[in-house]
Amino acid sequence: MRGSASPSPARAHPRCPTCYHPVIWEGNPHRPFCSLACRLVDLGVWLDEGYRIPGPEVASPEDPTGKQD
């Protein structure tokens, strides 16, 4: 049924990746976050190396062979 008044799922507001509240996209200087606080929380996780990509372990510069005792 075309022209119905119900909103489509594609037009729903995106969610903040930190707190999952709906984010107003237009005019929001913190997007994809809802606020500066959520943006800083995410930055803190990055600075604490909390986000990691799984992969093989890399040898440290002190031990180029990669062997661990």
Band the pLDDT of 58: cuts 50, 70, 90: confident
pLDDT at 57 over 60: yes
Lowest mean pLDDT among 3-7, 45-49, 60-64: 3-7
Q: Where are the domains of the chain?
A: 13-47
Helix (H, G, I), strand (E, B) or coil at 15: strand
15 φ, ψ (degrees, to nearest 5): -105, 145
Nearest to 13 by CA among 38, 32, 40: 32
- CATH level 3 topology of 13-47: Erythroid Transcription Factor GATA-1; Chain A (3.30.50)
pLDDT in tens, 7-47: 455 567 899 999 999 999 899 999 999 999 999 999 999 99
What is the reported pTM? 0.58
Look at the chain and count its residues. 69
Bridge partners, 29 (sequence order): none
Say how far residue 42 (Cα) sits from the centre of its chain. 7
pLDDT at 2 over 80: no
